[in-house]
Structure 1
């Protein structure tokens, strides 16, 4: 794959442009046509109010899985509303920079956003729990917590203070531990490395002597190529193949200690959300739920082919992190989370719910999914992979 053509096709312009002037709160009896258009609303031929909203994302336009999932969500909503709501999806940098999504939705400059909540740890540390916790829950377990363990109510409460309504809208499943420009045989090999590692995991590797770097996915290839990064956690084989990371680094490590399941979020400006009729709110909620599962399914299917290509066709060296490194990562992860919640009641409240739900399902998981995977692995002669 020619990287320049690929990058061009995805529209990886990451320069920030001016925020679109839309999303003003409507006063139905007083607004004129110009102000109505600015608010992203109009009127259909049957007299029903129509909505034209902007969704800003942290992904390049049309990026496999993440960007295309946002596109599918928008298409679902338009079809389910029979055109009453149209959503224009913008890739990173088209309306706002990748890391400007939170503020754009919060302010109403864009009505919707699609991202990962751990990017916003600078806004509130508790946001990280809704993407991934090191050695934490898998994607399916996260879905169960959000839908049946009280996670959604806590998410709503947390984001309401930022004028936003959140939904789960995708999961990349268990990710890889990342790409490295050298073999990792001990903790000493990690020290001093500049590693693209967002969220809680970034703090973990920092305490172990590495240098965490947070950057949008569209910048990772160049950073690895130029030496600005020594290693990078991006997503998993499907997305890593698409970015061509194998061209600049060859060591590909597992297991996913940092993101056993990585949930993606749909955010909506709360004033805009509250102003929607109930049927459109229901449609958006159901479209998000459907796309949440669709993206998860897509990664499960596509990762298999992508991993095979990386190893068989591109000479990628697949490696497992040493056990002592994993143990050090686990011990440090526990300390990072404990320190995070110690002096933050809101973060503590969210994590207490997360941990309580995780602990409550572990016995069932052990005799169901985990036992089934272990048994299958033994039968197929691949017990070392589980």
Structure 2
């Protein structure tokens, strides 16, 4: 009997121990974030990039950090992403820094600048030239931490409803254009119009605008702009780079365990590399598809327009540099990076042209 009682007590203690231990073995509930974007859901280029980022964070964190994605307009409008992340309405956003230049004039340097750095040069500046620290200083004032997170490649000059034979033809032109490019066109006599990506086709079709500069061939083709404006202009001097950004509320980021903060950073970095490669492939396909349609003609901007645009860009950048000490440091760092990399970039472009087989 004594032996049986001892066995019974051991079984009872084991069951009790198992019952007490069960909660400790259970998985903690995942941390959930909401991410808003400036894009229609699944849009070629940035919309796909945003989805891949949230999927990668989920996979890399083992489901410990789950990010729900919301397209433009589902929680906040396309151009309110920075504000939503800054004020804590959501934990994260995916957009392009050039959209905030009205509020933060220096922000455009972290997407693209007319006649500025290309995609690889821009990445090099951020990663190795001090650009990332300046970006974090700029956005830190808003309680936001930025990450480079996607790239659609160099942008085209856009679709125009009528030909541009000289600088004089730009006078009064209503063009959908974002970032510093809008200020350049304004200096050239055009009327820049800010329209979210999802509304560009309708605006061009109805004649609300005379031209649309959006992104590169893959994204432009998906929007169907070529169906209503037959003239496709190059080069895209206003946006030689197509970088996008992952914006994270700094308080939300700091609340994560270190390993999950690292997951967020690595997910953004991995997507940037993948997106740029994907963009190069898809832009080649998109351009070929558009040029195969009889109504689309690839045109070059006239020399006098390009010369005037260079002068306008220099004047605009100088004006931004004079705005604050931080603005001056951003402009100086950006220009130094461009001067340092320009010789190799020109030689690299020459070699690429020599090797192209059409």
The verdict on how the C-alpha distance between 1:49 and 1:145 changes in structure 2, with shifts beyond 3 A counting, is farther
Q: Determine helix, strand or coil for the equivalent of 1:137.
A: coil
Q: How many residues align?
A: 336
Matched, 1:156 2:136: yes
Match of 2:295 in 1: 315
Match of 1:181 in 2: 161
CA distance in 2, matches of 1:374, 1:243: 29
Following TM superposition, where does structure 1 have runs of at least 4 consecutive aligned residues deviating by more than 3 angstroms?
Answer: 43-49
Matched, 1:337 2:317: yes
Report the Cα offset of residue 344 of structure 1: 2.3
CA distance in 2, matches of 1:249, 1:359: 37
The verdict on how the C-alpha distance between 1:49 and 1:192 changes in structure 2, with shifts beyond 3 A counting, is same
Match of 2:264 in 1: 284
Q: 1:108 aligns with which of 88, 98, 106?
A: 88
Deviations 1:19-78 (A, max 9, x none): xxxxxxxxxxxxxxxxxxxxxxxx997344521110000000111121111111111110
Report the Cα offset of residue 314 of structure 1: 5.2
Is contact 1:246–1:314 with CA below 8 Å preserved after alignment?
no
Matched, 1:197 2:199: no
Match of 2:11 in 1: none
Q: CA RMSD in A?
A: 1.5
Q: 2:112 aligns with which of 120, 128, 132?
A: 132
CA distance in 2, matches of 1:365, 1:225: 38
Report the Cα offset of residue 371 of structure 1: 3.2
Deviations 1:242-276 (A, max 9, x none): 11111211110001111111210000001001111
Rg larger in structure: 2
Matched, 1:235 2:192: no
Is contact 2:40–2:71 with CA below 8 Å preserved after alignment?
yes
Q: 1:358 aligns with which of 324, 338, 341?
A: 338
Q: 1:93 aligns with which of 56, 61, 73?
A: 73
CA distance in 2, matches of 1:288, 1:307: 27
Query: Which runs of 5 or more structure 1 residues have no equivalent in the other structure?
Result: 1-42
Structure 2 length normalisation: TM-score? 0.91
Q: Determine helix, strand or coil for the equivalent of 2:342.
A: helix
Is contact 1:238–1:302 with CA below 8 Å preserved after alignment?
yes
Higher helix fraction: Structure 1 or Structure 2?
Answer: 2
Report the Cα offset of residue 313 of structure 1: 2.6
Matched, 1:212 2:212: no
Match of 2:8 in 1: none
Is contact 2:45–2:151 with CA below 8 Å preserved after alignment?
no
The verdict on how the C-alpha distance between 1:328 and 1:84 changes in structure 2, with shifts beyond 3 A counting, is same
Report the Cα offset of residue 226 of structure 1: 1.3
Is contact 2:46–2:151 with CA below 8 Å preserved after alignment?
no
The verdict on how the C-alpha distance between 1:252 and 1:138 changes in structure 2, with shifts beyond 3 A counting, is same
Report the Cα offset of residue 375 of structure 1: 2.6
CA distance in 1, matches of 2:125, 2:306: 25
Match of 2:355 in 1: 376
Match of 1:16 in 2: none
Deviations 1:317-347 (A, max 9, x none): 1101112211111111111111121232221
Q: Determine helix, strand or coil for the equivalent of 1:313.
A: coil
Q: 1:144 aligns with which of 118, 121, 124?
A: 124
